[in-house]
Structure formats: C-alpha cells, structure tokens
C-alpha cells in the first residue's frame, strides 16, 4: 500500500477519541445545581471546582442555587432536564437520606440519578462550648447523664450527618440527647457560641472559627480516623462509629456513558489541583478522587445504614 493510500485508509477509520473530546460532548453552558443556599459549605465547595471543570470541558459552567426541602427542590430541577450531561446536581450526604424524609417526591433518587463521582469527604465534629469544661466524649456523656432531660445538640438539619451521629451516639451510650435542627451549620455554631445550645455536630468549616477563637472545644469527630489532633468518637469507646458527610456530583440516569465518564475526568482534574486541595482543607473538607463506581457502592451501603438506624432507634425523619 502506498503512503497516500495508507493515509486515506487511516482517515476512513473511526476516531472515537476525537469524537468524544469534551468540546464535542458539551455544546452549551452546563448548569451545576446546588440544592442549598449560597455561602454554605456545599456551595463553597462547588464554586471552588467550577473553574477547573469548566477549563477541562471547554465549556462555561453556571452554578445555580435551588435550596429547600433538604435538597429535594434542586434535585427535582435536574430530573426535569434532558439526560445529556448539561444539567448536573452537586449534592451532599443528604442525597442518601432525602428519600426517608420526603415520602411523596415526584422522582426517585435511586432510579433517576447516576453517580459522576465524589468531590470531597466532610467529617463532622462534636463541638461543645469551652465554658462547660467538657474535653472529650466521656465528659460530654457524663454531663448529659447529669443534666435533667439530657443535653441539646444542633445540626445542619433533619437527616444530616450531624443529626444521625447524635442519634447513634445517644443510642449506643444510653444517654438522652435532644436534637435541634438548623438550616445550616453556621446557625448552629452561632447558638453554640451564644450559650443557647449545649453542643453541635457540624462541619469544621462551621465549627473551626469558634475553636480557633477559644469559645468551643472538639470532643470528638464522627469519622473513624479522627482529624489532626482531634480524636474520633470511635477511638473513645465506640468502635465502628464512622459517619462522614460528603459532596458529590450526579447526572440524570440515561446520560450517555461517554459523557458521564468525561464528567468524572473533569471532577478528577479539579480535585487533584493543589490549590483546590488546600482551599478544601481550609474549609474542613478532603478533596477526593471521583471514582463513580465506588460512589455508587457507597450509596448502597449508606442507605442500608440509615434503614438500620431507623429500625434500631425508632427515629422519625419525615
């Protein structure tokens, strides 16, 4: 075969790699729906990866905040959009719990969404006002046993990791802890600082300013590994205690697989950036590889955990 004919033959072969370039897959601005209010932890993390993902995909990404109903309003917006990868959901661990809270949704979280990938793990902290003299889980539980009616704790809302962690700790320790739901961790931190709340189980992004200002202490972390110098609840007599919030990206079920995988690559491009990692750490989050398949398996495990917690404790979420 002559060189000219060889080149012609190559030109006639399929070129899937070229056809699947991001610029070819995304031909208009991408909507990134954050189902929480502007300025919150999820909104902050979404906006930090927005420019890196946009650069990778060669397309503008527009963050839209659609808050309400624990994230269900924003999720419904994504379900109503075409399954082509141009409308995405940036959700938190509430994605797992929402189906147990809202029984009459017009969509199904398990059926209607496909995982693109995890963006960050966000361990929560059990924070107590420094003035109470509580320094660890043991002294926190001792104070709860001594107080008529137990102690109150705030969380970012019903079904949040903070809420579930408090329920699990109360169940396993046998103490009474009264849950006070807030619309966000910042509001819970405000009342903790003012002394109207005994404790709060919230993200480091919300609690750290109080800790750094000397107004609160960390009695334990909800993840198994602990955070820096802060020991985990698990290491303080509660083996197997491991609840971590997270943020992740989802697309509509039915989105073409090459598009979904390209979005996963875009997430990895963003979360592997050194500046993004540093700014996530400052917000109390750990940037993670996307690993869409692992996220899918995580959703199955965590839904089972919530079902077990509801059955064992009788907790009512909705």
Task: CATH number of the domain at 89, please.
Answer: 3.40.190.150
Asked whether residue 109 falls in the same domain as residue 154, the answer is no
For the entire predicted model, the pTM comes to 0.83
Q: Is the domain of 300 the same as that of 157?
A: no
- Are 111 and 200 in the same domain? no
pLDDT in tens, 30-73: 999 999 888 878 899 999 999 999 999 999 999 999 988 878 99
Task: Please indicate, yes or no, if residue 14 is contained in any of the structural domains.
Answer: no
Structural domain includes residue 167: yes
Q: How far apart are CA 258 and CA 264, in angstroms?
A: 10
- Is residue 259 in some structural domain? yes
Residues in the chain with pLDDT < 50?
A: 3-4, 6-20
Same domain, 50 and 96: yes
For strands 30-34 and 61-65, give the pairing.
Answer: parallel
Concatenating the DSSP letter of every residue in 127-161 gives: EEEGGGT--SHHHHHHHHHHSTT-EEEEESSTTSH
Q: Are residues 99 and 37 in the same domain?
A: yes
pLDDT in tens, 292-318: 999 999 999 999 999 998 899 888 776
pLDDT score at 6: 44
Nearest to 113, CA basis, from 295, 265, 271, 302: 295
HSE-CB for 270 with a 13 A CA cutoff: 29
**What domain range is 200 assigned to?**
123-236
> Into how many domains does the chain fold?
2
Query: Which pLDDT value is given to residue 316?
Result: 78
CA dist 162 and 244 (Å) reads: 9
CA distance 193 to 199: 10
Q: What is the mean pLDDT of the chain?
A: 90
Instruction: Select from 212, 236, 260 the last residue of a domain.
Output: 236
pLDDT tens sequence across 285-296:
999 999 999 999
């Amino acid at each position: 075969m002559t060189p000219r004919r060889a080149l012609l033959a190559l030109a006639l072969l399929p070129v899937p790699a070229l056809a699947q370039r991001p610029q070819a897959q995304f031909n208009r601005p991408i909507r990134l729906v954050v189902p929480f209010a502007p300025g919150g932890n999820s909104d902050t993390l979404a906006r930090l990866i927005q420019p890196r993902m946009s650069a990778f995909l060669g397309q503008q990404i527009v963050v839209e905040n659609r808050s309400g109903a624990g994230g269900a309003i924003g999720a419904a917006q994504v379900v109503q959009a075409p399954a082509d990868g141009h409308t995405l959901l940036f959700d938190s661990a509430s994605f797992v719990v929402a189906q147990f809270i809202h029984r009459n949704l017009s969509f199904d979280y398990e059926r209607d969404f496909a995982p693109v990938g995890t963006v960050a793990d966000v361990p929560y902290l059990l924070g107590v006002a420094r003035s109470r003299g509580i320094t660890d889980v043991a002294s926190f539980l001792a104070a709860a046993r001594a107080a008529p009616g137990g102690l109150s704790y705030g969380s970012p809302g019903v079904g949040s990791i903070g809420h579930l962690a408090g329920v699990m700790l109360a169940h396993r320790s046998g103490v009474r802890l009264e849950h006070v739901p807030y619309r966000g961790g910042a509001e819970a931190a405000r009342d903790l600082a003012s002394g109207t709340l005994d404790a709060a189980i919230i993200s480091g992004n919300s609690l750290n300013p109080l800790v750094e200002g000397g107004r609160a202490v960390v009695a334990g972390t909800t993840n198994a590994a602990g955070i820096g110098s802060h020991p985990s609840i698990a290491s303080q007599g509660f083996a197997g205690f491991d609840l971590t919030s997270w943020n992740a990206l989802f697309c509509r079920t039915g989105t073409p697989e090459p598009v979904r995988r390209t979005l996963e690559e875009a997430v990895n491009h963003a979360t592997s950036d050194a500046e993004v990692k540093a700014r996530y750490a400052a917000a109390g989050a750990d940037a993670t590889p996307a690993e869409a398949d692992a996220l899918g398996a995580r959703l199955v495990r965590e839904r089972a955990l919530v079902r077990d917690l509801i059955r064992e404790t009788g907790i009512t979420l909705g």
